[in-house]
Amino acid sequence: MSLHSKQEIAIKVTGVNHFYGKGDARKQALHDNNLVIHKGEIVIMTGPSGSGKTTLLTLIGALRSVQEGGIALWGTELTGLNPVQQVEMRRNLGFIFQAHNLLDSLTARQNVRMSIELTDAPRADYDKIADAMLASVGLAERADYKPRNLSGGQRQRVAIARALVNNPKLILADEPTAALDKESGANVVKLLRKLADERGSAVMIVTHDNRILNIADRIVNMVDGHIVSDIRVRENIIICGILKKCSLFKELSPSDLTDIAQKMKEERFEKNSVIIRQGEIGDKFYVIAEGRANIIIDSDTGTRVLAKLETGGFFGEVALLKDQPRNATVSAAEPVVAYTLSKPDFLSAIKAHKSFEEQMGNSLFSRG
């Protein structure tokens, strides 16, 4: 199981601040935003209106000039690009808007051609390329229709075809499903997912539509210009699954689990390596996601294996709760993937959940 595969970085946002207005009216829209999006990832940005997610999207889309901090698309820094260079940069991107913004006087094919014309493709191939793209969004039969003769979902699919036809490495979508009914919306996101997987494009979607959250690899939540959470959806589900299995967290609601899972970091250990050592200061709490570990105690009577830990097992909490050195050594019996929670996060999680504290007590009690 690999949760953090080594992926190519598509977008790297570092320390981005953005301001609107001048003088007294100057207002900071983004505060020290950091974000990395990998190739093939679909990232959904959520957050209340005015939270800065659209600002961040337009900055990444080279539609605004970066003021402070850095945004790199495939290693190319956007800061300092002049308007002409921004236009050039945008040709590598695919844009999908809430209003499809198709040229209403052109047919679906001609609309898709508007994108192809930006490339070096031979003119004679334009129609062929456009038709193939329209076929892949299921509109082969509608190539000669003008937008006014297409349904809302079909129009959005033409817009997607137009955005994707040049195989952009990054697709930026703003509420792509907001104007669509449930079924059309589902089809559109399925299509985006499929094309992102096939073509390895990174996709960034700003949306309030929680019906489509399930296609995301990551959900980034913004509030008041800050990125307040960045949930790796698949990983989150896995961690929650593990947390759910371990007795300590059994009673927690999914959202509580998600809160904890978000703060956890993955760590890997070789077979026979020591994860924590008896007598050291405890700084982390561990949950085993994969593999097995042994709890070993050194005492006057010698070294002995006190217990074996399986997947879903956890350790390290006693030292954190009692502010004591580790009371045992834990070593990997086989390669181990563990999720760790730092001491402050662990303690604040406990404070936040009264029942959790009680359980903790129980668990300490039951361990003896």
Partner 1 sequence: MRFLRPLPIAWSMLIDKPSRLVLSVLAVAFSVVIMFMELGFFNGCNNSSANLPPHFDCDLILSHIEKNHLKTGEEFPLDWVFLARDVEGVAASVALYSGADYWWNPQDSSRNRVFALGVDLEDPMFETDVIKAHRKALLEPGSVLYDRLSRKELGRVETSTVSTLGRISAKVVGLFELGPNFTYEGHLLMSADTFLLMQDQSRNVVDLGLIRVKPGADLKEVRKRLLAKLPPIALLLTPDEINAREINVTTRRSPAGVVFGIGLLVGFSIGIIICYQILFNEVNDHLPQFATLKAMGHPPRFISGIVLYEALLMALAGFVPGLVAGAGLYKLIEEFTQIRMFLTPERVLLIFALTSSMCLIAGHLALKKVHSTDPADLF
* Contact footprint for partner 1 (CB under 8 A): 54, 57-58, 61, 63-64, 84, 87-91, 93, 95, 97, 99, 101-106, 110, 114-115, 117-118, 162, 174, 206
Enter the DSSP assignment of 143: T
d(CA 365, CA 298): 22
- Least distance to partner 1, CB of residue 115, Å: 6
Both tokens of 313, joined, read 């097992």
Q: How many CB atoms lie within 10 A of CB 357?
A: 14
d(CA 287, CA 307): 15
139 half-sphere exposure, CB direction, 13 A CA radius: 33
Q: Where are the beta strands (DSSP E) in 21-67?
A: 27-38, 42-46
Phi then psi for 62, rounded to 5 degrees?
Answer: 60, 30
- Least distance to partner 1, CB of residue 101, Å: 4
Choice between 57 and 338, CB closer to partner 1: 57
Choice between 99 and 352, CB closer to partner 1: 99
Residue 72, SS3 per DSSP: strand
- Least distance to partner 1, CB of residue 173, Å: 10
Choice between 110 and 294, CB closer to partner 1: 110
d(CA 295, CA 273): 12
* Cα 59 from chain centroid (whole Å): 18
- Least distance to partner 1, CB of residue 148, Å: 9
Choice between 28 and 101, CB closer to partner 1: 101
Phi then psi for 81, rounded to 5 degrees?
Answer: -70, 140
- Least distance to partner 1, CB of residue 52, Å: 12
- Least distance to partner 1, CB of residue 311, Å: 44
Closest CA to 192 of 172, 221, 166: 172
Identify the burial level of 287 via C-beta atoms within 10 angstroms of its C-beta, where 0-12 means exposed, 13-18 middle and 19 or more buried.
buried
Place of tokens 């950091």: 34
- Least distance to partner 1, CB of residue 225, Å: 16
- Least distance to partner 1, CB of residue 232, Å: 25
Find out whether 342 and 260 touch, Cβ atoms under 8 Å. no
d(CA 91, CA 287): 45
Choice between 105 and 151, CB closer to partner 1: 105
